[in-house]
Every structure is written in C-alpha cells, then in structure tokens.
Amino acid sequence: MSLFKPIWFQIESHYHANKITELSGNDFIDLIEAISKKEKLTCSPSRLTLYTKKKADSQFITLNNEIFKDCQKNFNNLTGIYEIDEDNPIRVKLPEKTYTFIPILIESVKRTFSDITKEITGIIDDRFMTISTDIESRLKKIKLDASYPGWYSCPATCTETENGKMVKEDLTFPFTLNESITLRKNSRVGLFKKKTIPKSKKEKDIQEYFIKECEVITRTFEIIHYNVLDVHNFPLLDTRKPDFVILSKQDPLDPLNVVAVGEIRVIKAQHGIFSNADIGHAVSFGEKLLQLQPRRAFVYAIITDCHVLSLILITRSGNNNHNYKRTPLAKLESDDATAPGWKQFVTLLSQNPETLGWVPSTVRHEDKEVKLVRSIGTGRTSVVYEGAYDNNKVAVKMLKDAQFIDQFRWEVFVMKKLAILNSQNLLSLEISHLDTDDYGPKFIVLSPLCERFKTWRKEDVSPIINTLKKVHELGFIHRDFRKWNLLRDQDGNIRIVDWGFAVEINQPVSFAGSLETLPDEVLQDIIDGKKIKYTKDIELISIVRAIYLMVFRPFLEHIPFGEEDIKKWAGIYKEFWRGHAHSSLWSKIFETAKLTDYDGLNTLLEELF
C-alpha cells in the first residue's frame, strides 16, 4: 500500500471558479518518480504544497488529473535556481483564464532518506502555461530537504489539528507517584474540588481558578521548588502565549528557564475528551520551547480543563522534527479524596528540572563553549540570546529554521569582508557554527553585547556616516536600517548590526529589509512591483530617515507580524513621509544624502543636536 495521500494542487483564480477537484496521489507519485529519475534523487517526496496569494474576491480551485498529467511532463524540464518575490507571484495563463500561484516546497513524510539536499525549480512548458512576467524575478527557490535518515513525525506545514492526531495515547505516567504529598480533605483550595471549579465555558475563568489552586500547592509543600505562572497574556515563547509555565522559584521569568508548559482548554465535545486541535495547540508550545532551548532533548506539556489532565511528551527526533506521546486523561478534580490526576500533577512538580528535560543552556563549537544567559530578542530568522564567552558578554544569534541558513551564511560572508575595517561601529564575528553535519543548533556569536537606545548624541553621527562610507567603498549596502539594527555598546558606541539582508551596491534585487525608511521613489517601485537597484544614495536616505524616526519618534504604524501585502504598506509609508521631515534643514539633509556627500551629510546632521 502506498504511503502517499491524495494531493491538492492549489491555484488562485482571478475569476470566480465554481468547483474544486482533488489531485490523484498516483499521478503525483508518477510526477515525483519522473523528477527523481531526472535529478538522480534517492528519495520520493510525498507532498507538493503550493501556496497562493489570498484575495477576498477569489475562490480556490485545483488542477484536475488531466491537467496535472500535462504538468508532469513540464516538470521534467526542471532546471536552474531562481528567486521569487512572494509579494509579486507568478502570473500564468490557462485556457481562457489567468491564475496566480507560488510553488514553494516539496516535503517528505514518514519516509527513510539518505543524506541529500537538492534544490529544484522549473520552467513551465509554453504549450501548457505561458508565464507573462520575468520568470527570474518570480520563481521562488524550491528546496528538497532529505538530509535526515529517519522517520518524519510531522511536517512543518501541519495544522494544530493534524499535529494533535499524531499524539498517541501510549505514554504511561513516567514518574513514581509521590504519596507523601497530600492535602487535608477539608482544605478549601488546592484540591480542585469539583464543586468549586467554575461552570463557565470561558477559558479565562478556568485559567484564573487553575492558577489560584496551583499557588496553594506550590506554597504548601517544601518538596515543590517550582512556581506555576500565568503567562497567557504575555508572548513569552517568541510570539507564542502558553496559558501557564512551570519554572524554578529562584529563576527569573525567561524562556531559557521554563521547565514545562501548559495549556487550559475547556472540553466542549460531547465525548468528553480534548480535541485534536486542543492537543496540537499544547504541543506547539512544547515545540517552541525546544526551539528556544537548543540543547534540550524533550519537554512536557500539560493540558487540562481543571476536571481532567493529560501529560504530553514532545521529543526531538532530528532535523527539526518531533515525536509525541501523551498519558490517558486522569481525573484532576476531587470529591472526598485526592484524585489520580492531582497526584500526577504534584508528583510532576516534585521532580528536579533535569528529570523534566531542562538542561543548562549552552552551545558548543569545536572546543569552545558559550553559555546562554537570557533571551533578548526574536526576529524572522533567528532568536538572539545574551551569552557568556571567554569572560565576555556576547550576542548569540540562533537560527530559527533551516530555510534561513543561506541568509545566515551570507551574513557571515559579509561580516568577514567588513572585518578588515576594524570598526568600533560594527560587531565582531567570534564564532560561526553553520556548516556542520550535526543536527544541533546553528548559530553565530557576535561581540560586544549591545542594547537598544533612545537618544542620539551629536558625537554619534560622524562615526556612523564614516563607517557607512567605508562599507560602501567595500561594495556593500546594509539595506535594513531601523531602530532595532542600531544598538549601543557599553562604551557608548553605536553599532550597525544584522547584515543578513546586505547586498552588493547597484545589484537589482527584490525588496527585503527595512521598508519604512526607504526613499519615496523606492517605495513607489515596490508599489509598482519593480526590482530595486540599491545604491549609496538610497542607503544614506534610509539612515537619515531612521535617525529622524528615532530622534522625533512620530507615530508610525508597524507592519503586523506575518503581513504579506508589502505594496499596501509601501503606500502607507510613502503617505507618512509626505507629511514629515520637510523643513528647510531636513530638505537640505535629504538633498545632500542623494548626492552621496558624506562629509556634507555629517555636518548637516550634527546641526540637529
């Protein structure tokens, strides 16, 4: 029996479509086999995901089997590697109608692989589809990742419901119940008494009750060295907000110190169990914690509605995949005696941190060890920690996902080129742990450790402008100037950080990096869907606008996390700058920047202070 599931090849119509058809899994297998023969791959991926641009007035259709068979022939012509601008998808023509699609990833599920990573992309045959725009600026890099020889437990694109389905109820409670931890039967709180549990279906009410009961438990027993903290309003784990976390009483609240995570869910199903979506939601917090604690091998997640409780074990299985198990539902509420679930919960709270999977956070490169002290920031591609290395405070930039590895490598390449400047306004690259065969965390170590600042000083201007001049002379553009990428070290120097979006001067590329500080004409190019040739004057205008925003702090909307409509936001920022920085001095500053007069720009900016 084939392991492959039916595939949906999704296309977004610019006209209204009135049917959705499913793609046969067999046809898909034929396609992949053809690709494998041509590319000499040693594995057969099991799913092709095509992401589409969402429009409110569109419906989604999928190609039927007959059309897909034509696609199969066309995919045999896979050649070259191209980039796509996700905000300007490919426009292709099918008979009588025009569609938009973005090919993005071929994945493998529950297959055994040999080590191979192959990038493939395709040119669609003109006989079937005519690409109406420049393919080199439209096609996205498609990556076939088969680097880990083992079983995949869940692909990255799983929904929480799909994730929940993979959590099997085959975990026996892993600890010996601690019978010495008891409360008096007449205790008013701490026992999750059935008659005191709110009958409300609002998670907020259940959440408050759960935390109050836990406070009694953690205060009462000396053997319990943890606090159970309500963090449901706080994005403690990157952007994720678990309902509660468990951490040692002596530790500050930081993702590195979290021992276990928990989720409150109200059971609404008639069959009286948590839904797959509920379980998947709890699992997602455990997975995020493993990402933020790079040396940790496993974590426990608790899911409860105060009546029952289940313990979920999330374990790393290599290559950013995880395995899952959970205990059967155990009764947490009590009538006259402590319930089995209550005993499990307090037994869990009496374990030492190492037994629950927590380990001191360090990362290693060859014979060098860096201790992670605390998390200090999260971006699209990385999590940043304060670290201790060679008796110095450093920044450790940890890769969030393997899809960003090329950007990390490019940043390392640029920083090595810039190291010749020996500038006090740039960071030094201490360690680069990227090109390794292990499945541990990929990271770079930078020094010195810096922090955000609010106030520019007159003496800050000249070093930054002069550093930019030297960087430009070496042929690079930073192209990501914003307040988060201008930091101050302990000696008072402003450092330009985060060179992952850097490009070579005059290189035409699709937009990436900072949007709100770009010149008006570049914002218009983005609106028009054009490529951008990043030049010195664009860079200087960007740093000037960044300084303006940091000095005067006008109200400016920020692009929401995950926002895809960059053209809309380019229009918003262009409109913003129509009403700002138009005094005679600022007009002169921008004119000087456009002329790439570094010395003149330095003099004019210093007049602001």
596's enclosing H/E stretch is none
Tell me phi and psi for residue 417, to 5 degrees.
-65, -40
* pLDDT score at 381: 85
* pLDDT score at 269: 63
Architecture per CATH, 454-609: Orthogonal Bundle (1.10)
| Cβ atoms within 10 Å, residue 532 | 21
**106 close to 48: Cβ distance less than 8 angstroms:** yes
261's enclosing H/E stretch is strand 258-264
What does the DSSP assignment read for 365-389?
Answer: ETTEEEEEEEEEEE-SSEEEEEEEE
The DSSP secondary-structure symbol of 411 reads H
Beta-carbon-side half-sphere exposure of residue 590 (alpha carbons within 13 Å): 17
Among 255, 212, 549, 246, smallest CA distance to 377 is for 255
Number of helices (H), then strands (E), belonging to the chain: the values are 13, 27
182, 326, 331 from 249: Cα distances, Å: 21, 26, 27
Which amino acid appears at position 61 of this protein? I
409's enclosing H/E stretch is helix 405-418
The two tokens of residue 88 are 């300007």
* pLDDT score at 562: 63
> Which residues does the chain have with pLDDT short of 70?
1-160, 183-189, 269-271, 319, 336-337, 436, 439, 561-563
Q: What is the largest CA-CA distance in the chain?
A: 82
Q: Domain 361-449 - what CATH class?
A: alpha beta
- Give pTM, 2 decimals: 0.62
Report H helices in 419-505.
Answer: 458-473
Cα–Cα distance measured from residue 326 to residue 310, given in angstroms and rounded to the nearest whole number: 7
What does the DSSP assignment read for 506-533?
Answer: T-EE---S-STTS-HHHHHHHHTT--EE
Tell me the per-residue pLDDT of 302-334, one tens digit each, with 9 for 90 and over: 999 999 999 999 998 876 788 999 999 999 988
Cα–Cα distance measured from residue 299 to residue 322, given in angstroms and rounded to the nearest whole number: 11
Q: Is 397 annotated as a binding residue?
A: yes
* pLDDT score at 466: 96
* pLDDT score at 578: 92
**9 close to 47: Cβ distance less than 8 angstroms:** no
Bridge partners of 382, per DSSP, are 399
